[in-house]
């Protein structure tokens, strides 16, 4: 910048708001307020080129009605590569609900008259947070940093964290509140448990799934075993566990009876009568050409559904089960045989 008063100065500016802790310790019942000082950062250009050297800057604060709220002068401000930073304090919180505008005048240090820059700059700012040790009432909009490398909102752990103590976050009012602590979410109405709704107007929810494709979408989950596993578990020591292709009833880590429509109603598998129920049907046969007794056994894991005996011209003396997967035929002379229809259905 030349030594004469600037004729054409362009100001490119942005603000950094430093939120200062209130002076002194606040007592019970006192409010909390932010400090009134803030740092103003800007850039000066002269004839399109970044300005260098020491400059005097005068800042005047105006409200939306055009009323002046004071002037702050800063002398011998170093400007390097067009950039500068100054701390300003007009004695009031300029980033409160009201809108304020800053008028800036500039000159080379101690040389000539000031040049007022146009237009006035509206004050908006951002910066580090302010920590207080009590409740904060916000009557207006709370702006939080956009999503980035840092967490937008965080709360400390374990200070009345359990819902019985009020939780860490409460949304709503006396008639309906959603409370959150570090491992619980509870909806209440008039201090009593109430309906908790997720996506009541539609949309899919994925639990452990990046792109849910159903109202509730679960992952395939670990394989269901008698001791655990599954993507969905209902119950405690007696429970129903499911993965992507199994349903298992369990009690204390052991297989248990699975009831389907235990109180009545049909159970259908497949649709429109064109699907098969695979119960592992097989036919087992055994014969004894030299004696009058023979046993037939179903393969491991299969049980007898029906069984019978064949003999020559003599009568069968006995035909009976030995256990759930073995059948015995006796009598009829030599050449007796037995057969069994086996399946996964146990009688």
pLDDT band at 273 (very low <50, low <70, confident <90, very high): low
Alpha-carbon distance values, 30 to 26, 37, 129, 169, 193 (Å) = 6, 21, 20, 22, 33
As a whole number, the mean pLDDT across the chain is: 80
Where in the chain are the domains? 9-21+33-122, 163-193, 220-261, 282-343
The third-level CATH classification (topology) of the domain covering 9-21+33-122 is: Immunoglobulin-like (2.60.40)
Residue 182 or residue 250, greater confidence: 250
25-54 pLDDT, tens per residue? 444 444 445 567 888 888 888 888 899 999
pLDDT at position 311: 81
Is 167:181 a contact under the CB 8 Å cutoff? yes
Residue 179 has pLDDT above 90, yes or no: no
pLDDT at position 96: 58
Q: What is the largest CA-CA distance in the chain?
A: 136
Residue 265 or residue 157, greater confidence: 265
Q: Which CATH number fits domain 282-343: 2.40.10, 2.60.40, 1.20.120, 3.40.50?
A: 2.60.40
Report DSSP letters for 95-155, one per residue: TSSS-EEEEEEEEETT-S--EE-SSPEE-----S----SS-----S----PPSSSS-S---
Task: Out of 75-79, 98-102, 249-253, pick the least confident.
Answer: 98-102
pLDDT at position 99: 79
Residue 323 or residue 46, greater confidence: 323
**C-alpha R_g of the chain:** 42
Report DSSP letters for 262-301, one per residue: TTS-----SSTT--------EEEEEEESSSSEEEEEPPTT
Give the mean model confidence (pLDDT) for residues 241-252: 92
pLDDT band at 151 (very low <50, low <70, confident <90, very high): low
Residue 98 has pLDDT above 70, yes or no: no
pLDDT at position 144: 59
Do 9-21+33-122 and 282-343 share a fold?
yes
């Amino acid at each position: 910048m030349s030594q004469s008063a600037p004729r054409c100065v362009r100001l490119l500016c942005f603000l950094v708001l430093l939120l200062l802790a209130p002076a002194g310790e606040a007592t019970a019942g006192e409010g909390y307020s932010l400090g009134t000082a803030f740092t103003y950062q800007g850039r000066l250009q002269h004839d399109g080129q970044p300005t260098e050297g020491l400059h005097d800057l005068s800042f005047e604060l105006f409200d939306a009605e055009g009323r002046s709220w004071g002037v702050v002068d800063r002398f011998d401000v170093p400007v390097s590569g067009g950039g500068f930073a100054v701390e300003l304090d007009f004695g009031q919180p300029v980033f409160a609900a009201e809108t304020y505008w800053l008028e800036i005048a500039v000159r080379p240090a101690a040389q000539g008259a000031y040049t007022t820059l146009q237009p006035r700059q509206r004050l908006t700012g951002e910066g580090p947070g302010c920590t207080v040790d009590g409740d904060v009432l916000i009557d207006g909009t709370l702006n939080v940093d956009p999503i980035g490398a840092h967490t937008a909102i965080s709360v400390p752990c374990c200070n009345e964290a359990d819902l019985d103590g009020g939780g860490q976050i409460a949304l709503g009012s006396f008639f309906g509140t959603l409370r959150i602590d570090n491992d619980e979410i509870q909806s209440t109405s008039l201090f009593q448990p109430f309906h908790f709704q997720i996506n009541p107007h539609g949309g899919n929810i994925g639990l452990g799934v990046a792109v849910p494709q159903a109202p509730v979408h679960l992952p395939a989950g670990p394989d269901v075993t008698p001791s655990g596993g599954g993507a969905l578990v209902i119950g405690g020591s007696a429970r129903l566990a499911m993965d992507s292709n199994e349903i298992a009833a369990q009690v204390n880590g052991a297989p248990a009876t699975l009831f389907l429509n235990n109180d009545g109603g049909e159970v259908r598998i497949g649709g429109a009568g064109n699907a098969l129920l695979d119960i592992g049907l097989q036919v087992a046969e055994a014969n004894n050409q030299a004696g009058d007794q023979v046993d037939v056994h179903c393969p491991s894991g299969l049980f007898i559904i029906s069984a019978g005996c064949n003999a020559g011209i003599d009568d069968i003396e006995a035909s009976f089960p030995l256990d759930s997967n073995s059948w015995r035929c006796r009598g009829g002379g030599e050449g007796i045989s037995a057969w069994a229809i086996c399946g996964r259905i146990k009688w």
